[in-house]
Structure 1
């Protein structure tokens, strides 16, 4: 039996109308509640690279910052201050972390790409610390003694008031800002002894000294776990000074230094927001909690 044409037309109209209606809300749902989240903006990636001394601090800043900025992806990696500057020069990082001031030659290379850069921002303070094994009886060394040890002129602990044992010397790789700082401030720009065992990060130096009872190494104060920190004397007649927060703040510890962010240009947008966070009371509390010292 043929279906009446009127019925077919009616059925077609009803189908079209039903397709135009908004679906009813599920039972118990608020009719005013959106069915889906609003579209999110594009994810912003900020790259921070450089100093191994600062990498743990940088990661802690990043973790807290992205917790309140869910659209931001923050990548923090180490490799040494020199690695950070190389990345800044070739445009592969937004921020370079450094435990030393930038060199004039590095500045000029940055300016070839960014004529108004680089921008230098102290973000924390640190004290270069010399570590010994927990059983080592030596309590302090003068800057002259440290220089003699790291140049190979003093080779046994008895030469500095310790046991008649060889001094096992640990150092950082030459891309490290800590290496450069010790070379400039302790060795007077002269070379390290060939006997120094080069390790790729401060954590590795601390680990080596913790295992070697005759070891001597250096790095940031925040890493001194499972080893003992030496006090440092400016000369034989000076009192020994420990790398404490108070001594570093007052400037009495002879090997205190700033830790820096370097940018290719003045910060804007997400980079500016991250720097503002780092220098805020909350960001500077993270500095203290991590074992470093605030800049203000």
Structure 2
């Protein structure tokens, strides 16, 4: 379904910054600079961004619009049951460096991540890594599209991103996750898994929305629409037509994930 078939009078255009990598921080910066009407963010507004808006004479408002999750992507040929949150942390902090350490083959782990300006990266660092830093072995890739391509061609690779950007992919395999070794694995997709060789001919894997909603899946979060409160047209559009805009964003977001 095309978003514009649902609401033909709503015109959404994706604006990418000419030099900065895409991400929540970049989107909010563009909103502060008056380059876009509103921003979609995978994290809440920072205090520094609230202060920057106040200096410029307006306020920022965040509207929670959806439940989201972080999915883990690996090469389709990797044979592994899943990862615990502790194992995932140890991979990205450099304590685990070979898939054989977590029940997989004797294969070097090659971790990828988005840059620090990404809201997803900030959330992952705070939620999974805690007080620790990323290992020097982690390679930072500007976009999810590029990272998915690298995972698809690198057997030892691992990458994390918003679930809609991973689960529906035909190039990579999403991994089940568990809170701990004594807890069951939960998939970010609706079982059974559609193997990459059967995708998309037999359809695409679909999001396990119920697990995200009930938080039985280990890594969940909220998505926000960020608007400027300055009394101008963009604020009124965001507030009076917000419900319709958010539905369109949801459809558009899903379409974008399917096209990566």
TM above 0.5 = yes
Residue of structure 2 aligned with 1:238, choices 165, 180, 183: 183
User: Given that residues 69 and 163 in structure 2 are in contact (C-alpha distance below 8 angstroms), is that contact kept between their aligned partners in structure 1?
Assistant: yes
Distance 1:100 1:156 in 2: 31
| Alpha-carbon spacing, 1:124–1:290, altered in 2? closer, same or farther (3 Å) | farther
Q: Map 1:210-225 to 2 at 5 A.
A: 210-224=152-166, 225=169
| Deviations 1:32-86 (CA, angstroms, capped at 9, x unpaired) | xxxxxxxxxxxxxxxxxxxxxxxxxxxx75x4577325xx6x4322421111122
Answering whether residue 9 of structure 2 is matched by residue 68 of structure 1, we say yes
Partner of 2:87: 145
User: Given that residues 80 and 104 in structure 2 are in contact (C-alpha distance below 8 angstroms), is that contact kept between their aligned partners in structure 1?
Assistant: yes
Gaps of 5+ in 1: 1-59
Distance 2:235 2:116 in 1: 32
Q: Map 1:7-86 to 2 at 5 A.
A: 61=3, 63=4, 67-69=8-10, 74-78=12-16, 79-86=22-29
Gaps of 5+ in 2: 17-21, 189-207
Partner of 2:196: none
Figure out how many residues of one structure are paired with residues of the other and give that number.
Answer: 227
User: Given that residues 123 and 278 in structure 1 are in contact (C-alpha distance below 8 angstroms), is that contact kept between their aligned partners in structure 2?
Assistant: no
Instruction: Indicate the structure (1 or 2) with the bigger Cα radius of gyration.
Output: 1
- Deviation of 1:93 (Å): 2.4
Partner of 2:211: 247
Distance 1:270 1:65 in 2: 18
Residue of structure 2 aligned with 1:105, choices 48, 51, 55: 48
- RMSD of the TM alignment (CA)? 2.5
| Deviations 1:188-236 (CA, angstroms, capped at 9, x unpaired) | 1432111111111112221111111111111111122121111111112
User: Given that residues 109 and 157 in structure 2 are in contact (C-alpha distance below 8 angstroms), is that contact kept between their aligned partners in structure 1?
Assistant: yes
Distance 1:259 1:157 in 2: 32
Partner SS for 1:121: strand
Partner of 2:228: 264
Distance 1:183 1:241 in 2: 21
User: Given that residues 95 and 261 in structure 1 are in contact (C-alpha distance below 8 angstroms), is that contact kept between their aligned partners in structure 2?
Assistant: yes
User: Given that residues 202 and 220 in structure 1 are in contact (C-alpha distance below 8 angstroms), is that contact kept between their aligned partners in structure 2?
Assistant: no
Distance 1:289 1:91 in 2: 26
User: Given that residues 114 and 264 in structure 1 are in contact (C-alpha distance below 8 angstroms), is that contact kept between their aligned partners in structure 2?
Assistant: no
User: Given that residues 133 and 209 in structure 1 are in contact (C-alpha distance below 8 angstroms), is that contact kept between their aligned partners in structure 2?
Assistant: yes
Distance 1:283 1:154 in 2: 38
Q: Structure 1 residues 151-160 or 117-126, which shifts more?
A: 117-126
> TM-score, normalising length from structure 1?
0.69
User: Given that residues 143 and 232 in structure 1 are in contact (C-alpha distance below 8 angstroms), is that contact kept between their aligned partners in structure 2?
Assistant: yes
Distance 1:80 1:288 in 2: 17
| Alpha-carbon spacing, 1:197–1:291, altered in 2? closer, same or farther (3 Å) | closer
Q: Map 1:137-176 to 2 at 5 A.
A: 137-176=79-118
> TM-score, normalising length from structure 2?
0.78
- Deviation of 1:258 (Å): 1.3
